[in-house]
């Protein structure tokens, strides 16, 4: 179940010139949100923009009844959102979508993120139990674009950073570290979110090494709740040599990598 | 107002009120049932149904434009049989009219779907000859009076339900086309479907939509839709169902004044899942403020200057 | 960029850059000369001229709609003779192309206006067969390939200037109509004129515009205009001038990619008298950022998915 | 000459629940404005509303380099404007239009206003010289809708108020007081602005009594500078039995009543 709410923004922080963390007071969403789910946010008037914007839930504080979203300014919608401040109200639908499948029986976990894909992973790590060992693999373009490294460090057993220009950590793509580590690590599960080429690569690696893998996808959305069928992604049809379009908003955003057909 | 009566009959299709969810924007009602009481709205026009299941077009399927959106879903649907089996039992739990929106590649497709629906518990069928997002059939029929006449007369012969023909705005003379539908036995016409459009990503130098072109809907098209509803309702004697950009009760009132007996709410549902209810409340409020009790007091009551 | 070259030639009409003020939104240039340097823009398409002076339609003549406006000016103008005598001397002070936009009730009107303009110092004529706001002629010609062919071939016979035919979007198949213009000797086509629309005041129960119906323009129509520019530029070999909702340089780039060689800026001038200049600057900035130096690097460079 | 400016709002006062007085810092407009002229105001983003709104200049303080507009909230545009506050910037074109014709040789002057038409008359009175005698006739629906009475009192020799319900001053229309007074008053000039039926009546009265009369008209506008021809009003063609449409924004808003054809 989800709802449409006029909620109050209680905090707004700038994490990087173009990345903001917004804390929103919402008893319903904070207490129902699960990692991997998102909210559908009205960023302006109907006349300014007709569509809501999907943003992952990055944290939920059940006691304070707040949840956080972290977003990067990409265009008009996120630009408007960045102009909001504590005290403003915000029109939000959620929590929406299928969350990550989390099980305590998975003891050794890899989390692989790039770009805006790292934000939902923060929530995921936060909800893992202490008994689970987690290694985070995060990719950035260069050192000065790194965000949330401290938060990730605190929440996971080990943090590996890759930068494309080598200005920090491993030089190259995050998928290369993962690939190098996999033979020695004994992961039960990989969770990943980020740019499509990265997801495809991670899925491939997981398949090669026979590790279960959950992928969180992105797609342009209309309704956000499964009715308009615009947010499609190609998935396999069980037990048949066929495929279909699934809805990222309702059947996802989290899918088993083995179900997804990457083009 | 205690004595306000928003009931309306569209040639045999009884609606408790004139607000219908527009096809393709409301799925089969399941998801919106979490947000609104489906018993409260006049009806639901379900996602366009085809004879066989259809996968639809590749994503992205949506682009935002000034006061509008472009979509290129391409009639993704489970097929009419699966609809009857899997969706109708859910829908029939609610006391609201169910309109089966149907599309075909060929005239015989349309007829076979209509036949199957004769035995299903739907309240009416809406023949979509206006979907701009599929390659064959559909819009090809809807773009000419001849095509619409052919589809309508063929479906009319087999269809036992009230028959609504949904018109495309992508034509020179929509009245002519509405008349062709009327002459061949349509019980009502609904309009407008989306206007064919294009949005370009200037950085990739490609269309935003993977399918390149898409259908424009939302408030941007309202003035065009209103003009066409006026033209059509003054050219035919069958009832007109109006849509195109309706977001508020006031928008709906404009359509009633222009001649629509009922309205459909589409794109507005996306930003506001309660849009249908708010449109309905807005209609009631306007009527109350104007001391009106029946829809007939406003339908077609536009006076030209 | 020092070596950026925004010059463009439209079948004999030389423009220093591809940004032209759209007819009816820029008068005869006088008023905007207070706000911008007219020497900087590529051209001005003047207010639609008729053989005799026209009073135009009664007010109100404008209504605001979501991301658009409706107008029903109805070709108010002093007539072609007064234009040549009173307005041309002013306009010729500036180094910018002057396009005479002309409209008639009959084919002979069009021809007589064209003849008069042969001897005037205008750089091209734009035959408006698409004004939705007058009762006779004009749109009646523009709505069919036959009508456009007739007007074009007749005007072509007498007209010694580059001949642009301005197309209406209120048709089923705009490519067909563009082809008819091309076949009969048009040097270029421009599109889109306004889309016929209606806005209703729900309190007075009357249309907002005194003339009832009006033409929709502004950002709301951009996706439709882009689609039509794409269709037309892929159907004819003569140059296409694109317009419809252009407000920024990015908007103009979309039109170039879709196939337009030049663009016209209309409604945007109202809110921002510097719109033409800002569109031009925006085009140059985009080209600079993309390391492009000539318009040919973008015109028609849209790749379909 | 006029220009487009991004100016700063320096003061904002509520005069009545739905009427606001905004003071704007603008050297150019304040020093060039003449009574009867207006500014064309961008009330929101392009996406919210494409058209500017015409608002009369109600006062200009040449020393402080500010000018005032007074507006009533009617719809979306004026609604947005009412939400602005001191410190905000505002996109404004002006001063626009033909001002009132003012001459010191007119010694005995009547000013007749109703509704939003009273605002430009304030500026007019303000610019009259001490040697001119001015009588203001203002009409309101009822006592509690009266605004600016003190300002008018201060600026004119005598203030006459009519209310439709008789809750203050004369009961009835302001045109009736004018008509009653005209035989005894020896006005050289009548200036009027307000609802169309009032203007028509005032013009008729002026004609009957042979008094010169200037009328400020309203019409829906596009460009505001005379190019788009949407803001038309019917006027007589000099020396001919014909009429034409003039532009309220450029040929007006002020016209001689004898030139206007009221429908
Ligand atoms: C399930 C999901 C979760 C997401 N979580 C986050 C998050 O936590 N933080 C974050 O910064 N971003 C997230 N995104 C991406 C975010 O939705 C887009 O960056 C945002 O919609 C861009 O809107 P805009 O108006 O700023 O950009 P514009 O480019 O102006 O947007 C134009 C249109 O395209 C859509 N669009 C553009 N980019 C994307 C995209 N990547 N995914 C989906 N729609 C897009 C917009 O919603 C809008 O409809 C998520 C996307 C999805 C689908
Ligand atoms: C020369 C002139 C001077 C004016 N001076 C003042 C003033 O000093 N104070 C004041 O309160 N009002 C004044 N008005 C009226 C003011 O322009 C309108 O009240 C305002 O435009 C309404 O806009 P809206 O968006 O709030 O209303 P809406 O009704 O939502 O506006 C819809 C459209 O109609 C137009 N419109 C609506 N009413 C009018 C009107 N009466 N005149 C012109 N256009 C209209 C709007 O500009 C807009 O384009 C003046 C009008 C003119 C022509
Ligand atoms: C995403 C989407 C899908 C649609 N699918 C259908 C469809 O399957 N059948 C149909 O007849 N119309 C379809 N339409 C058109 C709408 O029913 C409606 O005619 C149109 O959107 C105009 O109304 P609106 O502006 O209120 O959305 C679709 C519209 C949208 C936006
Ligand atoms: C007020 C107004 C008057 C117009 N008058 C004419 C005209 O006289 N002749 C003509 O060909 N087009 C006329 N047009 C159409 C414009 O030139 C242009 O085709 C249309 O507005 C779409 O462009 P836009 O969205 O940039 O305004 C007029 C448009 C407006 C808004
Ligand atoms: S966004 Fe509508 S189905 Fe996913
Ligand atoms: S508003 Fe454009 S001419 Fe007056």
Q: Are residues D126 and D198 in the same domain?
A: yes
Cα Rg, chain D, nearest whole Å: 18
How confident is residue B91, by pLDDT bands cut at 50, 70 and 90? very high
Residue ranges lining ligand 3, Cβ < 6 Å: A 222, 228, 230; B 22-25, 47-48, 71, 73, 75, 101, 128, 131, 166, 193-194, 217-218, 221, 243-246, 265-268
| Rounded distance from Cα A220 to ligand 1 centre (Å) | 7
Domain co-membership, A11 together with A89:
yes
pLDDT at D106 over 80: yes
Please check whether residue B85 lies inside any domain of the structure. Answer: yes
User: What is the rounded average pLDDT of the residues A86-90?
Assistant: 95
Of A34, A65, A96, the residue that ends a domain is: A96
Any residues with CB less than 8 A from the CB of A103 and at least 6 apart, and which? none
The CATH number of whichever domain residue B19 belongs to comes to 3.20.20.70
One domain, residues D241 and D141:
yes
Q: pLDDT tens digits, residue range A205-244?
A: 999 999 999 999 999 999 999 999 999 999 999 888 899 9
Q: What is the pLDDT of residue A141?
A: 92
pLDDT in tens, D204-236: 999 999 999 999 999 999 999 999 999 999 999
Interface test with C, best of D228, D247, D253 (most C CBs within 10 A): D228
Query: How many Å lie between the alpha carbon of D47 and the closest alpha carbon of chain C?
Result: 6
Question: For ligand 3, atom 2, which residue shows the shortest CA distance?
Answer: B24
Q: Alpha-carbon distance A57 to A36, whole Å?
A: 7
Query: Both A232 and A168 in a single domain?
Result: yes
Using only C-alpha atoms, chain A has a radius of gyration, in whole angstroms, of: 18
Residues A22 and A9 sit within 8 Å (Cβ to Cβ)? yes
| Distance separating alpha carbons of residues D121 and C231, to the nearest angstrom | 55
Co-location of D232 and D178 in the same domain: yes
Nearest to A245 among B56, B63, B269 (CB): B56
State whether A18 and A125 are in the same domain. no
Closest CA to C259 of C221, C232, C283, C282: C232
Q: Which two tokens stand for residue B256?
A: 């009633």
pLDDT in tens, D125-135: 999 888 888 99
Helices (H), D13-117: 27-32, 76-82
For residue range A112-157, what is the model confidence (pLDDT) as tens digits? 999 899 999 999 999 988 888 899 999 999 999 999 999 999 999 9
Q: Assess contact for B29 and B44: CB atoms under 8 A.
A: yes
D20 occurs within a structural domain: yes
Residues lining ligand 1, CB < 6 A?
Answer: A 38, 51, 53-56, 70-72, 74-79, 116, 119, 218-221, 253; B 64
Mean pLDDT of chain C: 95
> What does pLDDT average to over chain B?
95
> Measuring CA to CA, which residue among D221, D71, D58, D2 is closest to residue C271?
D221
Which residue has tokens 């203007």? D199
Does residue D103 lie in a domain region? no
Where among D46, D69, D96 does a domain terminate? D96
> Would you state the structure tokens that stand for residue A100, as one six-digit string?
């990550």
> Rounded CA gap, C124 and A12, in Å?
57
Rounded CA separation B67/B85 (Å): 38
Residue C275: per-residue pLDDT: 97
B91 domain-assigned: yes
The model's pTM is 0.96
Are the beta carbons of B224 and B169 closer than 8 angstroms?
A: yes
Which pLDDT does position B137 carry in this prediction?
Answer: 66
Within 8 A of C58 by CB-CB distance, chain D residues are: 232
Q: Would you list which residues of chain D are within 8 Å, Cβ to Cβ, of chain C?
A: 1-4, 42, 46-47, 49-52, 93, 219-233, 243-245, 250
For residue C269, which ligand has an atom nearest its CA? 4
Ligand 2 nearest atom to the CA of residue C208, by list position: 34
Ligand 3 centroid–CA B208 distance in Å is: 19
- The predicted pLDDT at position D131 comes to 84
Where does chain B have alpha helices with state H?
80-82, 88-91, 107-118, 139-142, 145-158, 174-183, 222-233, 249-258, 268-271, 275-289
- Looking at residues C264-293, what average pLDDT do you find? 96
Domain housing B96: 8-56+75-202+218-297
Rounded mean pLDDT of B145-153? 94
Residue B159 lies in a domain: yes
CA distance C226 to C240: 12
The radius of gyration of chain C's CA atoms, rounded to the nearest angstrom, is 18
Q: Which pLDDT belongs to residue A128?
A: 87
Using alpha carbons, list the distances in angstroms from residue D94 to A137, B154, D5, D221.
59, 63, 8, 14
**D223-248: b or e for each residue (b if 16 or more CB lie within 10 Å)?**
bbbbbbbbbbbbbbeeeeeeebbbbb
Q: Examine the pLDDT at C2 and tell me if it is beyond 70.
A: no
Angle (CA) D37-D39-D41 rounded to 5° is: 160
Residue B1 has pLDDT above 60, yes or no: no
Per-residue confidence (pLDDT) for residue A111, from 0 to 100 = 95
Nearest chain A residue to B211, by CA: A230
Closest CA to D50 of C246, C204, B247: C246
Q: Which domain holds residue D69?
A: 3-96
Whether residue A151 is contained in a domain is answered as yes
* A92 and A112 both lie in a single domain: no
Q: Region of B21 please: left (phi>0), alpha (psi -120 to 50) or beta.
A: beta
Nearest alpha carbon to residue B103 among B25, B23, B32, B186: B23
Q: Do C267 and D50 touch (CB under 8 A)?
A: yes
CA-atom Rg of chain B in angstroms: 18
Residues A133 and A219 in one domain: yes
Q: Considering only the beta carbons, identify the residue of A47, A51, A219 that sits closest to B59.
A: A219
Q: Is residue C208 part of a domain?
A: no
State whether D156 and D62 are in the same domain.
Answer: no
pLDDT-based confidence at residue D47 (cuts at 50, 70, 90)? confident
Backbone torsions φ then ψ of D149, nearest 5 degrees: -60, -40
Domain count along chain C: 1
Is D101 among the domain residues?
no
Per-residue confidence (pLDDT) for residue C108, from 0 to 100: 93
Select from C25, C71, C264, C276 the residue to mutate for testing ligand 4; criterion: most ligand atoms less than 8 Å from CB: C25
SS3 B259: coil
Q: Which tokens hold the place of D40?
A: 């064309």
Q: Looking at CA atoms only, how far is residue C178 from chain B in angstroms?
A: 15
pLDDT at B49 over 90: yes
Is the pLDDT at C1 greater than 60, yes or no?
Answer: no
Backbone φ and ψ for C52, nearest 5 degrees, come out as -105, 160
Average pLDDT over residues A242-261: 96
Q: How many angstroms separate the CA atoms of B61 and C229, rounded?
A: 21
The answer to whether ipTM exceeds 0.90 is: yes
Give the tokens for residue C113: 């206006």
Q: What pLDDT is recorded for position C82?
A: 96
Active site residue B131: yes
Nearest ligand to the CA of D247 is 6
Domain count, chain A: 2
Query: pLDDT, tens digit, for every residue of B216-255?
Result: 999 999 999 999 999 999 999 999 999 999 999 999 999 9
C-alpha angle B234-B240-B246 in degrees, rounded to nearest 5:
110
Task: Note whether D86 and D197 are same-domain residues.
Answer: no
Q: Which residue puts its alpha carbon closest to atom 37 of ligand 2? A: D220
Same domain, A86 and A139: no
Where residue C3 falls among pLDDT bands split at 50, 70, 90?
confident
Report the C-alpha gap between B250 and C286 in whole angstroms.
41
A110: distance to nearest CA of chain D, Å?
Answer: 45
Distance in Å, CA A109 to ligand 3 centroid: 44
Structural domain contains residue C241: yes
* Helix axes B249-258 and B275-289, enclosed angle (nearest 10): 70
Q: Which of C73, C24, C48 is nearest to C213 (CA)?
A: C73
What would the pLDDT profile of A168-211 be if each residue is shown by its tens digit? 889 989 999 988 888 888 899 999 999 999 999 999 999 999 99
For the CA of D77, the closest atom of ligand 2 is 25
Over residues C192-213, the mean pLDDT reads 97
- Chain B positions touching C287 (Cβ under 8 A) are none
Q: Catalytic amino acids of C?
A: 131
> Does A103 fall in a domain?
no
- CATH number of the domain encompassing residue D196: 3.40.50.80
* Binary contact (B258, C143; C-beta < 8 A): no
In a domain, C178, yes or no: yes
Burial C232-249 (b: 16+ CB within 10 A, else e): bbebbebbbbbbbbbbbb
Enter the tokens of residue B165. Answer: 């023909």
> Which residue's CA is minimally distant from atom 9 of ligand 2?
D71
- In this structure, of A42-51, C134-143, C185-194, C250-259, the range with the lowest mean pLDDT score is C134-143
Contact C224 B216 (CB under 8 A): yes
Q: Is the pLDDT of residue B136 over 80?
A: no
CATH number at residue A79: 2.40.30.10
Asked if residues D219 and D233 have their Cβ atoms less than 8 Å apart, the reply is yes
Name the residue facing B67 among A3, A4, A47 (closest C-beta).
Answer: A47
> Exposed/middle/buried for A3, CB within 10 Å: 0-12, 13-18, 19+?
middle
What residues line ligand 4, using a CB cutoff of 6 Å?
Answer: C 22-25, 47-48, 71, 73, 75, 101, 128, 131, 166, 193-194, 217-218, 221, 243-246, 265-268; D 222, 228, 230
Among the candidates A75, A96, A117, a domain finishes at A96
For residue D250, the ligand 6 atom closest to its alpha carbon is 4
Residue C213 lies in a domain: no
In the prediction, which pLDDT does D182 show? 86
C269 touching D, CB under 8 A? yes
Residues in chain B with CB shorter than 8 Å from the CB of C196 are 224, 227
Whether residues D78 and D157 share a domain: the answer is no
* In contact, C8 and C42? CB cutoff 8 Å: yes
Hey, which residues 37-66 in chain D have their CB within 8 Å of chain A?
A: 45, 47-49
Q: Where are the alpha helices (DSSP H) in A62-195?
A: 76-82, 118-126, 149-155, 174-181
Segment C210-234 mean pLDDT:
97
Q: Is B288 helix (H, G, I), strand (E, B) or coil?
A: helix
Beta pairing partners, A189: A109, A212
Highest mean pLDDT among B249-258, C287-296, D149-158: B249-258
Write out the two tokens for B280: 């309905």
Q: Which chain B residue's Cα is nearest to A250? A: B31
């Amino acid at each position: 179940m989800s709802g449409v709410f006029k909620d109050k923004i209680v905090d707004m922080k700038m994490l990087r010139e173009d990345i903001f963390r917004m804390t929103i007071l919402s008893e319903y969403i904070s207490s129902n949100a699960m990692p991997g789910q998102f909210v559908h946010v009205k960023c302006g008037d109907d006349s300014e923009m007709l569509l809501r914007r999907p943003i992952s839930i990055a944290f939920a504080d059940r006691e304070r009844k707040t949840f956080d979203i972290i977003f990067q300014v990409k265009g008009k919608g996120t630009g408007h959102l960045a102009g909001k401040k504590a005290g403003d109200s915000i029109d939000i639908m959620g929590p929406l979508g299928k969350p990550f499948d989390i099980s305590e029986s998975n003891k050794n976990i890899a989390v692989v993120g790039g770009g805006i894909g790292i934000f939902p992973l923060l929530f995921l790590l936060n909800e893992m139990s202490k008994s689970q060992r987690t290694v985070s693999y995060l990719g950035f373009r260069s050192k000065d674009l790194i965000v949330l490294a401290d938060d990730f460090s605190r929440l996971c057993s080990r943090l590996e950073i890759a930068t494309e220009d080598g200005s920090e950590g491993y030089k190259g793509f995050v998928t290369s570290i993962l690939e190098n580590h996999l033979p020695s690590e004994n992961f039960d599960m990989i969770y990943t979110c980020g740019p499509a080429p990265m997801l495809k690569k991670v899925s491939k690696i997981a398949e090669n090494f026979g590790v279960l893998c959950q992928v969180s996808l992105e797609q342009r959305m209309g309704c956000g709740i499964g009715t308009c069928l615009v947010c499609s992604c190609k998935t396999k049809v069980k037990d048949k040599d066929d495929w279909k379009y699934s809805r990222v908003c309702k059947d996802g955003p989290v899918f088993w990598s083995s179900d997804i057909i990457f083009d | 107002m205690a004595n306000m009566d928003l009931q309306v009959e569209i040639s045999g299709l009884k609606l408790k009120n004139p607000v219908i969810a527009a096809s393709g924007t409301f799925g089969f009602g399941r998801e919106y049932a979490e947000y609104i009481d489906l018993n409260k709205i006049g009806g639901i026009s379900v996602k366009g149904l085809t004879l066989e299941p259809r996968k639809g077009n590749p994503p992205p399927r949506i682009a935002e434009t000034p006061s509008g959106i472009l979509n290129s879903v391409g009639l993704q649907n489970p097929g009419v049989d699966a609809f009857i089996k899997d969706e109708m039992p859910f829908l029939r739990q609610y006391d609201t009219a169910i309109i089966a929106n149907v599309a075909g590649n060929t005239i015989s497709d349309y007829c076979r779907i209509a036949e199957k629906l004769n035995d299903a518990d739907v309240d009416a069928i809406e023949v979509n000859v206006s979907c701009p997002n599929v390659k064959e059939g559909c819009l090809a029929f809807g773009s000419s009076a001849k095509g619409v006449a052919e589809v309508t007369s063929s479906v009319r012969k087999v269809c036992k339900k009230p028959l609504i023909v949904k018109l495309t705005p992508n034509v020179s003379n929509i009245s002519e086309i509405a008349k062709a539908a009327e002459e061949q036995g349509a019980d009502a016409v609904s309009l407008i479907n989306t206007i064919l459009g294009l949005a370009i990503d200037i950085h990739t130098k490609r269309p935003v939509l993977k399918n390149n072109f898409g259908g424009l809907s939302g408030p941007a098209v309202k003035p065009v839709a209103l003009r066409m509803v006026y033209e059509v309702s003054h050219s035919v004697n069958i009832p007109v169902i109006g849509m195109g950009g309706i977001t508020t009760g006031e928008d709906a009132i404009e359509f009633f004044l222009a001649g629509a007996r009922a309205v459909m709410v589409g794109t507005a549902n996306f930003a506001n899942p309660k849009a249908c209810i708010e449109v309905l409340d807005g209609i009631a409020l306007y009527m109350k403020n104007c001391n009106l009790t029946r829809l007939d007091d406003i339908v077609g009551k536009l006076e030209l200057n």
